[in-house]
Chains A and B, each alone.
Chain A
Amino acid sequence: MSLQTAAFRTSGDESRVDVSVQFPWNDLYRKWDTSSWTLYARIAVMGIVRRTDGSIAARFSDLLYPSYWPTFDQGGTKFIAWEKGTSKLSGGIPRQLNGAYSSLSLGSSDSYFGNDTLALAFHDGAGTATFAPAGSVAPGAGDIKPDLASVETALDSSDPFWIPTRYKTQFDLPPGEYKLEVVLSDGWNLGRAEMPLTLAPYDRKELALSSVALCRRLRDADAAAKEAAVANFAPQYVPLVSNDAEFSLAADTTFEKDSQFFAYFEVYEPLLARNPATSVKVQMRILDADGGTVKAELAPVDAAPYEDSDTGMFRIAQTIPIRQLPKGAYRLEVRAQDSAGGITTWRAADFKVD
Chain B
Amino acid sequence: MHHPRHAAFTRATHSLRAVRRTSGRLLIAFAISVGCAFVCLARGSDGLSFCGQPTSAAQSGGPIRSQVDLQTVDVQVKDKKGTDAKGLTASDFTVREDGNPQKIAFFDTGNGPVSVAVLVDSSSSMVRKGHLGSAQEIAARFMRIARSGDQIWAMDFTEWTGPFEEVTARQLSNPGPVNVPAAGGQGSAVYDAIATAICHLRDSKDPRQAIIVITDGVDEHSRISLDQLIDLVRSQRAQLFLIGFPSRPEFRFFDHTAPKVTLVTGHDIDNPDVVFERLAKEAGAETFIPKSESGLQDALKAVSNLLEAEYTLAYYPQKTSRKLRRIEVKVDRRGARVLTSRFLVANSDSADTVHFVKGACVVSPKFHPYSYESHLTNGPGGTVYRDGFSDPNSGWPQHPDSHYAPGGYELSTIERTSADITQPQMTPGSGMSSSSTTIRGTYRDNVVASWGPSWWNFRVSASMKALFRRPPPVNSRVQFSHSVHPAAGLVFRMNEKGYYALLVSPASEFKKNELVSRPGDYKKKLAFEVVAMTFQVDSTTGRPSFVPSVIVPWIVVDGASAMDAQLTVDDVGDHITIFVNGRQVGSVHDRRFTEGCVGFTVLAPTSATFGNLLVEQTSLSAPDTSVAFAQEKPSPSDSGQAAATAPPVTVESNLVLVPVFVYDPARMAQAPKEELPCARADVTALFKIPSTEPYLPTDCDVTEVHGLTIKDFRLFQDGTEQRIVKMDSGDWWTLVRDNLGWHMQSSDAPGGIWDLSELSTIKRVPVLNREFQRLAYVPNSPKEGCHRISVQVDRPNLLVFARNEYCTGQTRLTL
Contact = CB atoms under 8 A, between A and B. Distances in A.
Partners in one complex: yes
Interface of A: 12, 25, 42-46, 48, 54, 56, 58-66, 70-74, 77-78, 81-82, 84-86, 110, 112-114, 116-117, 131, 133-134, 159-169, 171-172, 181, 183, 185, 187-192, 216-220, 222-224, 226-227, 230-237, 248, 260
10 tightest Cβ-Cβ pairs between the two chains A and B: A187-B632, A232-B730, A85-B668, A169-B752, A85-B669, A226-B694, A166-B755, A160-B757, A236-B621, A219-B738
15 contacts: A56-B652, A61-B653, A63-B749, A85-B671, A131-B672, A161-B757, A164-B755, A171-B623, A183-B649, A222-B694, A224-B694, A230-B734, A232-B728, A233-B747, A234-B751
B627 interface: yes
A235 B766 contact: no
Contact of A112 (B647, B746, B764): B764
B282 interface: no
Given A44-B629, A64-B746, A233 B753 contact: yes
B317 to A, nearest CB: 50
B106 to A, nearest CB: 45
A227 B756 contact: no
Contacts of B390: none
A230 B587 CA distance: 32
B635 A59 contact: no
Contacts of A223: 691-695
A322 B167 CA distance: 71
Contacts, number: 260
Contacts of B506: none
Nearest to A11: B584
Given A46-B649, A113-B764, A236-B621, A60 B738 contact: no
Contact of B671 (A82, A183, A192): A82
Interface in B694-743: 694-697, 703, 728-740
Given A133-B672, A163-B757, 20 more contacts: A12-B587, A44-B631, A46-B651, A58-B624, A60-B751, A61-B651, A70-B661, A72-B801, A82-B672, A82-B703, A113-B764, A113-B766, A187-B632, A188-B636, A192-B813, A217-B739, A231-B734, A233-B734, A234-B747, A235-B619
Interface residues of B, number: 88
Given A60-B752, A70-B801, A110-B680, A117 B638 contact: no
Contacts of A59: 624, 626, 651-653
A275 to B, nearest CB: 25
A50 B257 CA distance: 54
Contacts of A46: 626, 629, 649, 651, 809
A230 B696 contact: yes
A220 B692 contact: yes
A224 to B, nearest CB: 8
A162 B767 CA distance: 11
A188 B635 contact: yes
Given A220-B692, A230-B696, A86 B804 contact: no
A225 to B, nearest CB: 8
Contacts of B647: 54
A209 B391 CA distance: 54
B747 A220 contact: no
B759 A164 contact: no
Contacts of A131: 672
B775 interface: no
A76 to B, nearest CB: 10
B679 to A, nearest CB: 9
Nearest to B633: A187
Contact of A233 (B668, B669, B731, B757): B731
B754 interface: yes
Nearest to A71: B801
Given A190-B637, A217-B739, A232 B672 contact: no
A165 B649 contact: no
A141 B638 CA distance: 51
B302 interface: no
Contacts of B628: 61
B502 to A, nearest CB: 18
Interface string B605-627: 00000000000000101011011
B631 to A, nearest CB: 6
Nearest to A77: B799
Q: Which of B651, B652, B770, B804 has the most CB of A within 10 A?
A: B651
B745 interface: yes
A218 B739 contact: yes
A217 B734 contact: no
A163 B753 contact: no
B680 A86 contact: no
Contacts of A70: 659, 661, 732, 770, 772, 801
B649 to A, nearest CB: 5
A269 B583 CA distance: 23
A86 B753 contact: no
Contacts of A226: 694, 696
Given A81-B799, A219-B691, A74 B629 contact: no
A64 B668 contact: no
Contacts of B759: 160-161
A22 B804 CA distance: 27
Contact of B752 (A192, A219, A231, A234): A234
Contacts of B740: 216-217, 260
A218 B747 CA distance: 20
B745 A233 contact: yes
Contacts of B692: 220, 222-223
Contact of B672 (A86, A112, A165, A172): A86
Given A183-B649, A233-B734, A64 B748 contact: yes
Nearest to A162: B756
Nearest to B623: A172
B750 interface: yes
Contacts of A114: 764
B643 interface: no
Interface string B39-83: 000000000000000000000000000000000000000000000
A248 B587 contact: no
A216 B756 CA distance: 16
Given A61-B629, A82-B672, A168-B753, A161 B693 contact: no
A61 B631 contact: no
Given A64-B746, A86-B669, A237-B753, A232 B696 contact: no
B426 interface: no
A131 B672 CA distance: 9
A200 B797 CA distance: 57
A248 B752 CA distance: 13
A199 B800 CA distance: 45
Contacts of B755: 164-168
Contacts of A260: 739-740
A44 B628 CA distance: 10
A65 to B, nearest CB: 7
Nearest to B806: A63
B681 to A, nearest CB: 10
Q: Which of B631, B663, B694, B770 has the most CB of A within 10 A?
A: B694
B646 interface: yes
Contact of A219 (B697, B729, B739, B753): B739
A235 B695 contact: no
A36 to B, nearest CB: 12
Contacts of B748: 62-65
